Amino acid sequence: MSTPKLSARPALLFDLDGTLVDSVYQHVLSWSDALESEGLHLSIWRIHRRIGMSGGLFLKALDRELGTSLTEPQADRLRQAHAAALLGRLDQVRPLPGARELLAALSSMHVPWAIATSGASITARPTLALLGIPESTPVVTRDQVAYAKPNPDLFLAAAERLGVPPGDCFVVGDSIWDLLAAQRAGALSVGVLSGGYGQEELERAGAYRVYDDPADLLAHLDELGIRAAG
C-alpha cells in the first residue's frame, strides 16, 4: 500500500483576506488608489487577479504590465500608500459568513488549524481581530518568512507551528496564489469563491474542491473527511 496523501487527521491552513474576511475588494481599490497617487494606472481587474501574492512580486508584475521599472523608494511609497488606503477602509470589512463558526467548529473537533497571510502584520492584525479568535492562534504573516505566496514558505511555517507535516494539511484559500503555494508546499488545497475568482480558475490552479465561502465549507466538512477526534 502506498503512503496516503493525507493522514486521517488533516490540519487546515487558512489564508486570511477573501478566505476568512471579506476584504479583497477593499485591498483592490486601495492598491488602485496607491498607484494613482504615483501617477500609475492599472485596470482594476488586473489588480484583483494579483491580490494575495507577495507585494514584491505584485510590484514586479506591475513593472511588466505597465512597462515601468519602479525604484525601491517608489515601491516603498506604494506599499505605504496601499496600507494607509486600506486602514481607511477597514471599517467596511466584515468576517465572511461562517468564518467564526467554522474556526470554532474545528477547535471543538480538535482539528488543528492556523492562518497564513501574504499581508503584513500592520494590516493583518486589525483584520484578524474581526474573527474573535484566541490570542494563542498560530498566525504567520508576511513579516515572518523570506518569501510570500506563491512561494510555499507561509504555509510551511504555519504547518510547522502546528507540528503537522505539510502533506497532512489542507490549504484553504480564495486566490490562485494560495493554491499554487499549496502545491509547492506539498499540501492539498480547497478553494473558496469569496475572493471573487471563478470556480474554474481555482480548479485549474489545483483546488481539490471548491466551496462558496467558509459557511459552505463548514456545511461540507464531511466531504474532506474531517471528523471530530474519536
- Tell me the chain's radius of gyration from C-alpha atoms: 17
Helix (H) or strand (E) holding 154: helix 153-162
Residue among 15, 16, 20, 22 that touches a second copy (CB under 8 A): 22
In whole angstroms, the minimum distance from the beta carbon of 26 to a second copy comes to 8
Residue among 11, 75, 96, 154 that touches a second copy (CB under 8 A): 96
In DSSP terms, 172 is beta-bridged to 14, 190
Q: Which of 11/86 has CB closer to a second copy? A: 86
24 binds a second copy (CB under 8 A): yes
Residues 26-85 within binding reach of a second copy (CB under 8 A): 26, 28-29, 32-33, 36, 41, 43-45, 48
Enumerate residues 6+ apart whose C-beta is below 8 A from 142. Answer: 54, 55, 117, 118, 119, 120, 121, 124, 148, 154
Residue among 160, 184, 201, 221 that touches a second copy (CB under 8 A): 201
Alpha helices in 7-120 (DSSP H): 24-37, 44-48, 55-66, 72-87, 99-108
Contacts to a second copy by CB under 8 A: 18, 22, 24-26, 28-29, 32-33, 36, 41, 43-45, 48, 92, 94, 96-97, 193-201, 204, 213
